[in-house]
Amino acid sequence: MHSRDKIRNIAIIAHVDHGKTTLVDKLLQQSGTFRENEAVQERAMDSNDLERERGITILAKNTAINYKDFLINIVDTPGHADFGGEVERIMKMVDGVLLVVDAFEGCMPQTKFVLRKALEQNLKPIVVLNKIDRPNARPAEVVDEVLDLFIELGANDEQLEFQVVYASALQGTSSLDPEKQDDNMGALYETIVEHIPHPTESTEEPLQFLVTLMDFNEYLGRIAVGRVNRGVIRQGQSVTVMTREGGMKQARIEKLFGFQGLKRVEVEEAGAGDIIALAGIKDINIGETIADPNKPEALPVLKIDEPTLQMTFLVNNSPFAGREGKWVTSRKLRERLYNELETDVSLRVEETDSPDAFIVSGRGELHLGILIENMRREGFELQVSKPEVIIKEIDGQKMEPVERLIIDVPEESMGAVMESLGTRKAEMVNMVNNGSGQVRLEFLIPARGLIGYRTYFLTLTRGYGVMNHAFDSYGPYYGSNVGGRHQGVLVSSETGVSTLYGILSIEDRGILFLQPGTEVYEGMIVGEHTRDNDIIVNICKEKQLTNIRSAGKDDTVKMKTPRLYSLEGALEYLNDDEYCEVTPKSIRLRKKILNKNERERAEKHRKMAETNV
């Protein structure tokens, strides 16, 4: 066990892509935590495939670095506001934060969200200006921006006296001087050791341990991760678990793990201030306190962010159901969704009247999109409905979630972007033009207005725009006509295989979503109509062959490039009467009612019901 004054617990905060994970890699490599010959993968902290592909951190993870005779515990925080539930809890485990900011881009909205949580917990900040070697880095201005942000977020005087370290994580260099770099991370290690306070809790008092993160392992079951708030915890010890509801149950600590580098190592005991993982308690949950049976005292229960978006997850019932997936039954779907609740506390799953449908609520499109993507990689086949925001009744008034949206666009696209956001009920709160041809605009916008906006925004800015948003608050309901898709769709009338002839015959009607040779079914959406109504098309049409040679040879005809959707794009595109069918190999958009006549009948009933109201 390290002595208390040699332990440093810090969380690392950064905007997506500002180099946080690379920085942790370099700190690990230079500290001698790894053996000389040990192979270390790049971006070692992002362990999940999706995190590696997208370059984002989804789940909080911890690592421990030995520097001289100090133990530095670093907890990685997700930068994306969709994973806010994780962030809030991590702040309870640490005594300081490392804020990583790109020396050119400056502060971004996600950083703001996580930083606000850190300052509220009264944590000591250190600012790392990363990518200082970029040719257009502007360190002095970015430090001023950080200071303004701290003031805006209500930092106290001590927090405003933050230490700045200038670094290039890629090169593995750092220094306290923006003009020159030392060729190692020494300046950063020393700043952490010197400025972050050591844990002050006492090991003499009765045990208290707050469960802040969950992990799951098929051999050990649930693994609770957190910080020992006071006292000492030992392997084999009998403890009392104080549940979220206020109950108590007896349990025994079977295994205790400390962290070393990226590995968990078994330890006999740990004291106040240590960050550890423990196994052996069956139904343990986030926010529960593990205490001394002789003096059981609960710590305050952790607040968990409420979901703002919900979708219906259904068993796949399309004509192609069961062809590509391994898991297709409602039993498997239910089991998988309830398993996800073991580790993800911001998720909610509700049963519906139908045994084949579940309402899943989460923190945003990315949160739910990642769950669906993980499920499809595991071999699940399912259908999901359009994401809908969760409307709340607060003091008798209808309220909906409002997001803070920050957009960086080239000056020439500014007018088009502002106009498109105006129709989605956005209200501009700030605008900064720093003279580089780029403008930064800040808006408050109902979350509904953002569903499906990203693809349209990239078209408007020809791919040059950058948009980021974070949940701001619940505001009064904005009315029914916010956001949504304005174009109709092309719906297949046949089940069969799409042909080049069939595609060419309907190309002038809109943009197609598939290549020739793709299998389609009746009611499947094959393209976007140029107008605002849906039309039925036959995409499987074969050319009628005759024995007369036609004068105009058609082997030179070229097909326009189809628009192929990613999972997120498909979810954003959906309308109320449509589903997205997701399998390990395909993503298909379809109408809820596949048959044209039945669809028309249902639409007639809906209109009649509306006029009667």
Instruction: Report the C-alpha gap between 492 and 521 in whole angstroms.
Output: 7
Instruction: Report the C-alpha gap between 288 and 283 in whole angstroms.
Output: 10
**Phi, psi at residue 85, to the nearest 5°?**
-60, -40
Residues sharing a CB contact under 8 Å with residue 379, sequence separation 6 or more, in sequence order: 325, 326, 327, 584
Instruction: Report the C-alpha gap between 382 and 368 in whole angstroms.
Output: 13
Tokens 């850190």 correspond to 118
Grouping H, G, I as helix, E, B as strand and the rest as coil, residue 494 is: coil
The two three-digit tokens of residue 432, written as one number: 């900064």
Instruction: Report the C-alpha gap between 287 and 501 in whole angstroms.
Output: 61
Q: Residues annotated in the binding site, as ranges?
A: 17-22, 130-133
**Residue 519 pairs with which residues in a beta bridge?**
497
SS (H, E, C) 70-86: EEEEEEECCCCHHHHHH
Q: Are 169 and 19 in contact (CB under 8 A)?
A: yes
Identify the helix (H) or strand (E) that includes residue 241: strand 238-242
Instruction: Report the C-alpha gap between 445 and 507 in whole angstroms.
Output: 35
> If we measure between CA atoms, which residue out of 531, 398, 534, 423 comes closest to residue 483?
423
> If we measure between CA atoms, which residue out of 57, 63, 68, 46 comes closest to residue 14?
57
First to last CA, the chain: 70
CA 97-100-105 angle, to 5 degrees, is 145
Other Cβ atoms closer than 10 A to 606:
10
Other Cβ atoms closer than 10 A to 188:
26
CA distances from 107 to 58, 101, 124, 199 (A): 20, 6, 18, 29
**Phi, psi at residue 462, to the nearest 5°?**
50, 35
Q: Are 228 and 273 in contact (CB under 8 A)?
A: yes
Q: Are 433 and 439 in contact (CB under 8 A)?
A: yes
Q: Residues annotated in the binding site for GTP, as ranges?
A: 17-22, 130-133
Identify the helix (H) or strand (E) that includes residue 165: strand 163-168
CA–chain centroid gap for 202, Å, is 37
CA distances from 200 to 95, 194, 230, 260, 397 (A): 10, 15, 9, 22, 46
Identify the helix (H) or strand (E) that includes residue 590: strand 587-591
The two three-digit tokens of residue 228, written as one number: 């020992």
Q: Are 45 and 61 in contact (CB under 8 A)?
A: yes
